[in-house]
Amino acid sequence: MKKLIERTNISENSKDSNAYEQLGKLLNSIEIKELPDETVDLINNEIEQINSISDIDKYFVKAIKEKENGVIKLIEKKHKIAPKNYYRKLWMILGMSIFGIPMGVAFGLSIGNLGMLGIGLPIGMAIGIGVGSSMDKKAFNEGRQLDFEVK
């Protein structure tokens, strides 16, 4: 797998530096997993695109985040390998929208006050966190979890 080039123009503790270091950590944790050549080629293509971007560009951080998300989605979709707490974060949002809003509507309609719609959101969030945490634990036990957390 290709490496990110050394960026000397990035000041330490800046958004640029933090995003670039995080991408490097992601790539290092992916390198430990044995992936097929087809996936490695796709990741190498993303690395080449990042290496070709000037670090002076104002869209540098945005480009890094887009590539990072693209790589994470690629390995999750093709190989079911995900970073730490990936499923928890995903299912927290899904829980609020799939379970929380309908529960809030049902609760609000039963009371006769749709202002109570928000009551279902924390319930849905708790359900989503529970489902996501169990999926993260299952991925960890099966060795499908990266030693990396998206921040």
Burial zone of 30 (CB within 10 Å; 0-12 exposed, 13-18 middle, 19+ buried):
buried
**Prediction pTM value:** 0.85
The answer to whether the beta carbons of residues 85 and 149 sit under 8 Å apart is: yes
Q: What's the pLDDT score for residue 71?
A: 96
Token couple for 114: 């749709």
Q: Which residues contact 116 (CB under 8 A, 6 or more apart)?
A: 104, 107, 108
Dihedral angle over CA of 127, 129, 132, 135, nearest 10: -90
Q: What's the pLDDT score for residue 15?
A: 84
Q: Please write the tens of the pLDDT for every residue from 9-31.
A: 877 768 888 888 999 999 999 99
Q: Please write the tens of the pLDDT for every residue from 55-108.
A: 787 888 899 999 999 999 999 999 999 999 999 999 999 999 999 999 999 999
Residue 123, pLDDT > 90, answer yes
Choice between 54 and 96, residue whose per-residue pLDDT is larger: 96
3 state SS of 83: strand
